[in-house]
Amino acid sequence: MTEAENRCRLVLIVPDIADADEQARIVADALKGGDVASVIVPQYGLDDGAFQKHAEKLVPVIQDAGAAALIAGDSRVAGRVKADGLHLTGNAQALSEAIDKHAPKLIVGGGNASDRHNALEIGEARPDYIFFGKLDGDIKPEAHPKNLALGEWWASMIEIPCIVMGGTDPASALAVAETGAEFVALRLAVFGEPGRAPSIVAEINALLDEKAPRFED
């Protein structure tokens, strides 16, 4: 575990699966594969009641594996299911209001940082992390070049950790790590073939152990 602390770590984004039990089982399996810092739970198209039911099954599974459970968007659901944090995709003001209301009891991070100006505005709110990319932005094998560039710029200047969205290829995790970003977010790269999710998480951790740059203490 300590080996992973000083390099880029994995953040998983829960896949869009209608059956809550199946979704929780697949995520639990993936988490058996090795180190995962946190898991973000998007609402996708679910209404609030159904989203809460999914979150109620997912959060204990995530926490039992030693990862932080971050609920996307809905602070009420985050509170009811005793999640560790809240992932927001709104602007700097929305993030700032959520931080005032929920931190430090909850981890609060995210942001819709599409350029440097937006990113710096979000940074002024002092979130726990900033996210470059979209939760469902893994539409190509590689991470989006703009998000890689933003992650590299941010990591070189700002102390607030950043998460950069990877692509559908597990190897995209290394490209993110090479920017200096603290975290790489993956969704389809891990869950595209659910049966292989644990072995893919293990492979990604091995790749990062071997090749990711190390952070200075």
Q: What is the pLDDT of residues 154-168, one digit of tens each?
A: 999 999 999 999 999
Statement: residue 171 has pLDDT above 90:
yes
Euclidean distance between the first and the last CA atom of the chain, given in angstroms as a whole number: 16
Asked whether the beta carbons of 95 and 88 are under 8 A apart, the reply is yes
**Which pLDDT belongs to residue 1?**
42
- How far is residue 97 from each of residues 73, 127, 202, measured CA to CA in Å? 13, 11, 37
Give the confidence band of 36 by pLDDT, cuts at 50, 70, 90: very high
What pLDDT is stored for residue 159 in this prediction? 96
pLDDT digits (tens, 9 = 90+) for 138-147: 999 999 999 9
Q: Which residue from 139, 113, 134 is spatially nearest to 124, judged by alpha carbons?
A: 113
Counting beta carbons within 10 angstroms of the beta carbon of residue 207, is it exposed (0 to 12), middle (13 to 18) or buried (19 or more)? middle
Handedness of CA 201, 166, 102, 153 (dihedral sign): positive
DSSP 214: B
What average pLDDT does the segment 75-94 reach?
96
Mean pLDDT of the region 53-72: 98
- Are residues 36 and 197 in contact, defined by beta-carbon separation less than 8 angstroms? no
At 26, the amino acid letter reads I
Element spanning 69, H or E: strand 68-72
CA distance 137 to 149: 16
- CA distance linking residue 169 with residue 54, whole number of Å: 27
Tokens of 213: 């740059």
> Which residue would you say has higher pLDDT here, 1 or 43?
43
In this predicted structure, the answer to whether residue 65 has a pLDDT above a threshold of 80 is yes
Based on its alpha-carbon atoms, the radius of gyration of the chain, rounded to whole angstroms, reads 16
* pLDDT 10s digits, 101-136: 999 999 999 988 999 999 999 999 999 999 999 999
> What does the alpha-carbon distance between residue 198 and residue 16 come to, in Å, rounded to a whole number?
18
Number of Cβ within 10 Å of residue 191's Cβ equals 22
Span 184-193, pLDDT tens digits: 999 999 999 9
Rounded CA-CA distance 113/204 in Å is 26
